[in-house]
Amino acid sequence: MAERDSYRRLPAAIDPDSFVIEVPSFEDDRPEPPPIPPAASPQLVAATQIAAGGDGPHTIRRTQVRAGLLIAGVPICGIVVIAIAQILLAR
């Protein structure tokens, strides 16, 4: 019965020191990116950065290539069929 009564009343005062958390500081030891080499033109710097990022994932996916071929291929095939029909009917 004493346990149930302890939940019904609040403590008289809350000690703020009981809620303080000390976090130790540390140095950032992550590796830094290599510095940009000096160049005569900004185009050379941009080309160097693009070449360095070439290992990343490619932006064009296989499904996008298939969709592009379908979108371009259907009208081209239609034009070829119409051209063949006109050649055969003209004789």
For 28-75, what is each residue's pLDDT tens digit? 777 777 776 676 677 877 877 777 766 666 666 667 888 888 999 999
Residue 77 lies in a domain: yes
Residue 89: inside a domain: yes
Residue 69 within any structural domain of the chain: yes
Provide the residue range defining the domain that includes 89. Answer: 61-91
User: Is 73 a domain residue?
Assistant: yes
Q: What is the token pair recorded at 75?
A: 């009208």
Q: Count structural domains, the chain.
A: 1
**Burial tier of 60 (Cβ tally within 10 Å: 0-12, 13-18, 19+):** exposed
Reported as a single tens digit per residue, the pLDDT across 50-61 is 777 666 666 666
**Domain presence at residue 78:** yes
